[in-house]
Amino acid sequence: MGATAHWVAVPADRDAQPVQRFGAFTAAPYAWAAWLRQCPVDTVVRESTGVYWLALFAVLEERGFDVKLVEAHQARQVPGRKTDVKDWQWLQALHPYG
């Protein structure tokens, strides 16, 4: 999640392209939510990075998703996870376990 793009991943069995890139402007959170709904996904895990998560969090909640917010600092403390993509994959792997 950043100032210019948002990368979203769902389990590989949910879509032919389980990793998607969305823009970071006004319409993007709605496109994100629509794609997640068609996958089908009920819960979403996000890092709380800067202020970029706020609008997306609100849209996802408004659309009925159960959104879990993870402190980015804690996610980055896991050894061997030094890129955003690896962080997201790790969060996706841990999410089913709560």
Tell me what pLDDT residue 80 has. Answer: 66
What does the chain come to in residues? Answer: 98
Residue 93, domain member (yes or no) = yes
For 78, the domain range is 48-98
| 80 belongs to a structural domain | yes
Contact 38, 16 (CB under 8 A): no
Q: Which two tokens stand for residue 46?
A: 């996000």
Does 42 fall in a domain? Answer: no
Specify if 94 maps to a domain: yes
The DSSP code sequence of 39-96 is TT-SEEEEE--TTTHHHHHHHHHHTT-EEEEE-HHHHHTSTT--SHHHHHHHHHHHGG
pLDDT band at residue 2 using 50, 70 and 90 as cut-offs: low
Residue 3 lies in a domain: no
Question: How many structural domains is the chain composed of?
Answer: 1
pLDDT in tens, 52-85: 678 888 999 999 999 988 776 666 666 665 676 6
Kindly report, residue by residue over 20-42, the tens digit of the pLDDT. Answer: 888 878 788 899 899 999 999 99
Domain-located, residue 91: yes
**What's the pLDDT at 1?**
55
Tell me if 84 is assigned to some domain.
yes
Model pLDDT, residue 35? 95
